[in-house]
């Protein structure tokens, strides 16, 4: 078995802001330890670690799909004695003649985040069924696809994006995760994949140079309106629809979110196999959970008040109890493919 080839494919799993919160230790030719970590010490979107857990779930699912290409199945166990912020997994590869190559294998490196407008061609029933089957049996999907429904989501995202753009906690993350003048980035998001036109991007780069500039733009220049229209409102209309993947009950534990990440990756790879693109729209879900759990993630009172309004708004869109059971949400649609993308750290930098 070629473990290196499996890990080399697995590193293409998605992670929040391309943080790749995993390192690999090869213990035996058929045994890898995945040393995970969360990014709560610097990422305001990850203060409960759950987005990192979702990324780790996506990684484990990708390992399993990659191993199927070599006729092996995986057995995964999480080390219960590892610190909470360092989820650690033993992954064993077991050669098994009954294991067939997973049809999602070819989609692992082709899956990509599309943050620009997509086609509004509606999903076919077959596409929707294939996507629903990909997350079954534990998870279910709710859809919002009509123009009126997409407009409702667009308004919600426009409302929520104000939080992202007016808090110093999010500002420092954005400063860190964008790599400028690039269409590829190994460990961040290249500016050209953010979804802005060159002029607005220039403006954003200047603004992100100093928090005082953000405060000035927001106060006197209605600074959040343009980016919210370009990054949130317009793309939310320009797609086939929005999906909400939810658990049977309100998810709580690390394992719940790891399982969610595994299902999310099957969903996203299935979309890729169908020739569809996705963009996660996770921040309203994340901020709503902070509000429900009373996690004050910002010093800005108006942003906190906005977050407190989100659980109710999400309930009005997705219904109750489904809104509180959400683990993954985003938009989906047919091409075109993005021209810029995040790549990954080389395998040798991920090995310990």
Residues of this chain that interact with ligand FMN (CB under 6 A) are 14-18, 51, 54-55, 112-113, 115, 189, 279-283, 341-342
* CA distance linking residue 46 with residue 39, whole number of Å: 6
Instruction: Output 10 or 342, the one with its CB closest to ligand FMN.
Output: 342
DSSP type of residue 47: T
Write down the least CB distance from residue 160 to ligand FMN, Å.
Answer: 10
* CA distance linking residue 330 with residue 294, whole number of Å: 24
- Residue of 122, 104, 150, 155 whose CA lies nearest to 262: 104
Instruction: Output 93 or 241, the one with its CB closest to ligand FMN.
Output: 241
Write down the least CB distance from residue 185 to ligand FMN, Å.
Answer: 8
Strands 189-190 and 178-179: parallel
Instruction: Output 167 or 342, the one with its CB closest to ligand FMN.
Output: 342
**Cβ density class 99-121: b for 16+ within 10 Å, e for less:** beebebbebbeebbbbbbbbeee
Instruction: Output 99 or 119, the one with its CB closest to ligand FMN.
Output: 119
Instruction: Output 107 or 279, the one with its CB closest to ligand FMN.
Output: 279
Write down the least CB distance from residue 305 to ligand FMN, Å.
Answer: 21
Instruction: Output 72 or 131, the one with its CB closest to ligand FMN.
Output: 131
Write down the least CB distance from residue 317 to ligand FMN, Å.
Answer: 17
Which residue number places its CB atom closest to ligand FMN? 14
Write down the least CB distance from residue 27 to ligand FMN, Å.
Answer: 26
Query: Tokens for 42?
Result: 């610097």
Please name every residue paired with 18 in a beta bridge, in sequence order, or none if there are none.
Answer: none
The maximal CA–CA distance of the chain, rounded, in angstroms, is 66
* CA gyration radius, the chain: 20
Instruction: Output 72 or 156, the one with its CB closest to ligand FMN.
Output: 156
Write down the least CB distance from residue 121 to ligand FMN, Å.
Answer: 21
* CA distance linking residue 70 with residue 301, whole number of Å: 53
**Cβ density class 263-295: b for 16+ within 10 Å, e for less:** bbbbbbbbbbbbebbbbbbbbbbbbbbbbeeee
Write down the least CB distance from residue 170 to ligand FMN, Å.
Answer: 11
């Amino acid at each position: 078995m070629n473990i290196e080839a499996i890990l080399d494919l697995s590193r293409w799993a998605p992670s929040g802001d391309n943080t790749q919160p995993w390192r690999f230790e090869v213990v035996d030719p058929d045994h890898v330890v995945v040393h995970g970590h969360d990014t709560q010490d610097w990422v305001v979107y990850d203060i409960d670690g759950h987005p990192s857990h979702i990324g780790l779930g996506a990684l484990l699912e990708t390992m399993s799909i990659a191993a199927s290409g070599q006729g092996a199945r995986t057995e995964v166990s999480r080390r219960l004695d590892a610190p909470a912020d360092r989820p650690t997994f033993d992954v064993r590869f077991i050669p098994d003649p009954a294991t067939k190559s997973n049809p999602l294998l070819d989609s692992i490196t082709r899956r990509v985040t599309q943050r620009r407008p997509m086609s509004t061609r509606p999903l076919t029933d077959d596409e929707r069924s294939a996507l629903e089957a990909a997350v079954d049996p534990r998870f279910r999907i709710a859809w919002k696809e009509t123009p009126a429904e997409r407009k409702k989501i667009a308004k919600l995202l426009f409302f929520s994006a104000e939080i992202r753009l007016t808090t110093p906690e999010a500002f420092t993350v954005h400063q860190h995760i964008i790599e400028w003048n690039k269409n590829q980035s190994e460990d961040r998001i290249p500016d050209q994949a953010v979804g802005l036109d060159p002029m607005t991007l220039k403006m954003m780069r200047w603004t992100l140079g100093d928090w005082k500039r953000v405060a000035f733009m927001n106060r006197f220049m209605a600074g959040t309106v343009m980016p919210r229209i370009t990054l949130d409102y317009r793309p939310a209309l320009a797609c086939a629809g929005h999906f909400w993947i939810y658990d049977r009950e309100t998810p709580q534990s690390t394992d719940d979110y790891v399982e969610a990440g595994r299902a999310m990756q099957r969903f996203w790879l299935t979309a890729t196999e169908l020739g569809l693109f996705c963009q996660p729209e996770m921040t309203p879900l994340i901020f709503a959970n902070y509000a429900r759990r009373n996690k004050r993630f910002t010093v800005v009172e108006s942003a906190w008040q906005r977050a407190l309004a989100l659980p109710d708004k999400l309930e009005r869109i997705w219904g109750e109890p489904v809104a509180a059971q959400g683990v993954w949400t985003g938009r989906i649609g047919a091409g075109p493919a993005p021209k810029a993308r995040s790549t990954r750290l080389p395998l040798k930098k991920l090995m310990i």
